[in-house]
Amino acid sequence: MSDQGLSWALEQLESVERASDGLLKIVRVHRKPFDAYPLAVEISLSTKHLRYDEAGVRLRDRERLLLLVPDDFPFQLPAVGVPHVRFAGLPHVQWGSHICLYLSPSTEWNPADGLFGFLERIEDWLSGAASGTLVDVVGPIHPPVAYTSPRLGARAVVICSNTPDPGSNAWFGIARLKERHDQRVDVCGFMPTSNISLADDEIAGAAILLSAALPFEYPSTFQDLVVCLKPGGVTTKDLLKVLAHAAKLNNPIYPLYVLIGAPMRRMPGSDRKYQHLAVWYLNQGTVSAIRRISELLDAGEERNVDDYIRTLEAAPKAPIEWCKMMEARPEVTIRRDDQTPMNWFKDKCVAVLGAGALGATVCEFLVRAGVKKLSIYDRGIISPGILVRQPFTNGDIGKLKVEALKTRLKQIRRDLEIDVYDADVLKRPLGLDDWTEGADVLIDATANTSVLAKLESVRQQHQTRRIPTVSMVVGPKAERGVVLLSGHEYSGGLLDVSRKAKLAACSTNGMSEYLTNFWSGNNPAQPFQPEPGCSESTFVGSAADVVTLAGMMINCAARDLASIAPSQASAFFVTQPWLGTAANSAAHLTWERDVVLSADASGYEIRMEHSAAEDLHKWIDQGGRTASSTDETGGVLFGEINDACQIAWITEVTGPPPDSSASPVEFTCGTVGVQESNEMKRAQSKNSVHFLGLWHTHPDSVALPSTIDLNSALELLYEKNSGLSKVLMLISAGKNGKGQLGCGVFRRNIGTTQWLMQN
């Protein structure tokens, strides 16, 4: 296949030569000049037809280029160079003579175009050079190929630390290196030679940072390295001194890494030039010679040092190795998830409840997104069955989930701060006074209704300790998921948002599957229990199902954490793409905070939805138009009471039934149609909206119950077959019934009546 590709390349060149009327001439063909490029063709191109500009470069009438054709052409990209350095410093010219025609070869190079497309790129570059329209790039695009010795293996040096600013002169110092394994070394920091402090697991590398750019070819021998640094103001003695200093700090058997930087990197939108680093690997023989310099310097024998340098420069050239350099410096790298929803989590402290299929996967996403700290709560132990879809290994079986997950996550990011707790989440963190434990956001991945309720309760009790909270739940077949989010200034927690999401699903066409999956209120007749005995019932789904839903849901959460107001809540309904369900595949809803009448820890908190508050005002206005402005008016309250969390939700407010009566001192609410409305609302809302109590106005008084009001509440409670253990009474008073709001929770035992007021 390679011979066929090389033959095709020559055929294309020859056909272009025949058709070009002398614009392109093949000068010479070289067979197997390099291992990587078995075909090299010298060509001559006419440039007389190009348009010139003052900002451009004056080209010769004919320019000679060398085309290098790889063995696997056309699937591999050819290369092109020039036998001079006249183009050095122009955009896209690397290291003096190599012209880089493709910024992203994997997407820009089309094998079907062959050398025809490659020659068009050369023509475009020459035209841009002549007219001065070449687009500059942000520094060297690709470092030179790092040909390492087979005995060294593929040495990779990862630059993890930003570089010092050399100022107007060259900077000499020590690079702090850590050997992660036999093929990877990390640069963890830089120090001047006057202030060196290495950790026990660190080795020293020599570092020279130049103050001027150098369009040089990378040298392959020590003597060539000396020569290429001199234009940057680095003498041979300067170089050897810093090399000797680094070598002296290391074990004699260690080789020596040398980092050379020049200001040739520029980030988008910035004029500042950052250091472009190259790394060399000096073998033990070269290091031994350098150590001799250190000995002479320590002995104060400067003259002998000069003599030794002259001898070294005249000696046979000593080979050095290029290292494969990988950038991880914050100052010159842009995260691959930049400007994505997940970028919101960068540098945040996140608490995750649950380390199961969903929670463990979300934790990994968060770590890769750059969270500052992760706190994980789960008391589960890894069993064989969960390996089907949870990110653990066979060797983890029998271990605590949180400990195995911590080990895995630390392998992804060594700098990660992570705390894990083998605890019942109802006790820690939710049983603590500070249930947030310093987190910026909490994610509940337990799918546990008790956890949802406890979160609601502790959030209500600790008004000053509130953070955004997120709940993520997967359906019984991992076909659908629901994401709930409560902003830290929203009136309720995740249980509140879950209730609103349920009511929205009840009133929206096409949402029946979500109601069945998440709010059916009934356990399946045969719950799925993968292992015999008392194992927890769970959902059916593969690793692919979990990862797909987890990715969709955490992205949805991140989007709203970044975009909605702190006083809002939201819900996303997501569906597996393979279901082919277009409707509601990613439905998104948001809610504003409710009107809240807060109680202390011993009483109920009353929350009235905005739509209910609006309806209340409409009924008051309507009553004022149709009757005397001094008459009271009223109606019926529908909603739900949660005794565990001590919350009463007022969801709907209706007007007076037709058999009601009103006067300036009393409103008597009728009963016609109330029972039918109650049954209908129960059915439509899956038991989340039902009769709560009554409301009325005090147009010229305060929002406190009169004796008549108290007797009315008691009559409702003790009415035969009422089935009521609690009744709400809401009074809107002053300013024609809209100035002050009061609400009471009446219980059968008269002494525990609670009344809340809000102006």
Q: Which fold has domain 595-758?
A: Cytidine Deaminase; domain 2 (3.40.140)
The Cα–Cα gap between 527 and 536 comes to 9
| Res 581: pLDDT | 66
Answer whether 203's CB lies under 8 Å from 252's CB.
Answer: no
- Provide the whole-model pTM: 0.84
Residue 155 makes CB contacts below 8 A (sequence gap 6+) with 146, 148, 183, 185, 281, 321, 323, 324
Beta-sheet strands, E only, within 55-102: 62-69, 79-81, 93-94, 98-99
What architecture (CATH level 2) is domain 341-523+538-592?
3-Layer(aba) Sandwich (3.40)
Residue 342's SS3 state is: helix
Beta bridge mates, 661? 668
Among residues 548, 94, 557, 153, which one has the least CA distance to residue 340? 557
Helix (H) and strand (E) counts for the chain? 16, 32
Give me Rg for the CA atoms of the chain.
38
The Cα–Cα gap between 331 and 267 comes to 8
Give the CA angle between residues 95, 100, 103 to the nearest 5°.
125
Q: Where are the alpha helices (DSSP H) in 204-266?
A: 222-229, 236-249
The Cα–Cα gap between 583 and 204 comes to 61
Beta bridge mates, 632? none
Beta-sheet strands, E only, within 385-439: 417-421
- Residue ranges of the domains in the chain? 2-131, 156-327, 341-523+538-592, 595-758
Give the CA angle between residues 713, 719, 722 to the nearest 5°.
100
Place of tokens 């009483």: 603
Answer whether 654's CB lies under 8 Å from 670's CB.
Answer: no
Q: Are strands 62-69 and 441-444 parallel, antiparallel or unpaired?
A: unpaired
Please state, as a whole number, how many other Cβ atoms lie within 10 Å of the Cβ of residue 523.
8
The Cα–Cα gap between 93 and 680 comes to 76
Beta-sheet strands, E only, within 197-311: 203-209, 256-266, 273-282
Alpha carbon of residue 354 to chain centroid: 20
Residue 504's SS3 state is: helix
Q: Which fold has domain 2-131?
A: Ubiquitin Conjugating Enzyme (3.10.110)
Among residues 446, 444, 400, 439, which one has the least CA distance to residue 420? 400
| pLDDT tens by residue, 393-448 | 999 999 999 999 999 999 999 999 999 999 999 999 999 999 999 999 999 999 99
Answer whether 193's CB lies under 8 Å from 173's CB.
Answer: yes
| Res 149: pLDDT | 47
Among residues 322, 436, 324, 320, which one has the least CA distance to residue 375? 436
Alpha carbon of residue 322 to chain centroid: 34
| Res 285: pLDDT | 75
Q: Count CA atoms within 13 Å of residue 413 on its CB side.
A: 17
Residue 252 makes CB contacts below 8 A (sequence gap 6+) with 288, 291
Is 595-758 the same fold as 2-131?
no
Answer whether 71's CB lies under 8 Å from 38's CB.
Answer: yes
Among residues 411, 374, 417, 413, which one has the least CA distance to residue 396? 411
Query: Exposed (0-12), middle (13-18) or buried (19+): which is 266, by Cβ within 10 Å?
Result: middle
| Res 525: pLDDT | 45
Beta bridge mates, 574? 481, 586
The Cα–Cα gap between 30 and 37 comes to 10
Per-residue HEC secondary structure of 640-706 comes to EEECCCCEEEEEEEECCCCCCEEECCEEECCCCCHHHHHHHHHHHCCCCCEEEEEEEEECCCCCCCC
Task: Enumerate residue ranges in the chain where pLDDT < 70.
Answer: 1-2, 95-96, 135-155, 214-219, 521-527, 533-535, 581-586, 601-602, 624-629, 736-738, 750-753, 759
